[in-house]
Structure 1
């Protein structure tokens, strides 16, 4: 199979490689029930040693610069209570934590969650966190620019490997809220 973007030697439908995904991501793919069939979620094998965006794009293809998205975990705090959420923005932007995120979560303060919290709560590896398979009940804040991209490259739950997914999928994931200006 050829990936819809990038130059990857190994591209397969995600349901065919559940053993290469972390448990929460594999469970989400296994139980997939969206308008887009699970077979359109494409797993591509990548070298975790060249995960830096510049090196990754140079190795796997320049079109990935505009088609890659980052998923980060944020913590919102209000009145001593803390809540977690995930944010998905195009890689060429950064998450507006103190503006859009804080407002959407109704938090007095918002910040990136510590690495051990992000990894422990998601069951995914740091640097590979993906919006597919997030904990039930978490808000998933998605920048509107992401859903407008035909194919989006995101993490697979591990540092090795990525998923290539139709952008429109992200607006329909559990807990998803599409927000203009989440990525600045």
Structure 2
């Protein structure tokens, strides 16, 4: 199987470049049966935001996916989910995600908590290696991306993963209409 690539960015087998992976990402990949199909690319950390990255490297925005962390409460219990959506869409937090979490109000998880609880950097949060008690919601359109460009847990790199394999992550739930 050939290593995923995107644009002119040099890609490397993810497990061969652990310095480009956040610790929980490397841990999950080490035990994931599809890790040989995951590549990592090194980028300028100032370009970690999707639009800046795509502009700087001439990448197709439809190949990028974003992972956002949302939370809500029900009966005093906090419910947290990671939502993975194509970069040209936005997670439907106020309707779809709220309903899936079964909460009255849903909002983006505070940045300091999201980075602290994932041990990942802002701008690099990825669905790979999230806390196991969180739900992992993946928009069905992400699963269709031939090679998805997603966070690595660090701002200085990105993972390249076939979208269909993101749906194979532990606890992943593929959701039709997660994003609008």
Report the TM-score range of the alignment, normalised by the length of the smaller protein: over 0.9
* 1:129 pairs with 2:125: yes
Checking the alignment, whether the CA contact within 8 Å between 2:125 and 2:152 is kept in structure 1 is yes
Deviation at 1:61, TM superposition (A): 2.2
Deviation at 1:182, TM superposition (A): 0.8
Residue in structure 2 matched with residue 17 of structure 1 by the alignment: 17
Aligned residues: 179
Deviations 1:43-78 (A, max 9, x none): 000101123333311222232x11000001111211
SS of the residue corresponding to residue 141 of structure 2 reads: helix
Deviation at 1:2, TM superposition (A): 7.4
Taking only aligned residues, the RMSD between alpha carbons, in angstroms, comes to 1.5
Describe how 1:81-92 pairs up with structure 2 within 5 A: 81-92=77-88
| 40-49 or 71-80, larger mean C-alpha shift | 71-80
SS of the residue corresponding to residue 77 of structure 1 reads: strand
**Runs of 4 or more above 6 Å deviation:** none
Checking the alignment, whether the CA contact within 8 Å between 2:38 and 2:161 is kept in structure 1 is yes
105, 117, 130: which is aligned to 2:101?
105
Distance in 2 (alpha carbons) for counterparts of 1:179 and 1:167: 13
Deviations 1:77-121 (A, max 9, x none): 112221211000001111100111011111111110000110111
Deviations 1:148-171 (A, max 9, x none): 111100000011100000000111
* 1:150 pairs with 2:146: yes
Q: TM-score, normalised by structure 1?
A: 0.92
Checking the alignment, whether the CA contact within 8 Å between 1:74 and 1:84 is kept in structure 2 is yes
* 1:56 pairs with 2:53: yes
Describe how 1:170-181 pairs up with structure 2 within 5 A: 170-181=166-177
Checking the alignment, whether the CA contact within 8 Å between 1:27 and 1:133 is kept in structure 2 is yes
SS of the residue corresponding to residue 62 of structure 1 reads: coil
Residue in structure 2 matched with residue 41 of structure 1 by the alignment: 38
Listed as ranges, the gaps of 5+ residues in structure 1 are none
Deviation at 1:3, TM superposition (A): 5.0
Checking the alignment, whether the CA contact within 8 Å between 1:137 and 1:175 is kept in structure 2 is no
SS of the residue corresponding to residue 102 of structure 1 reads: helix
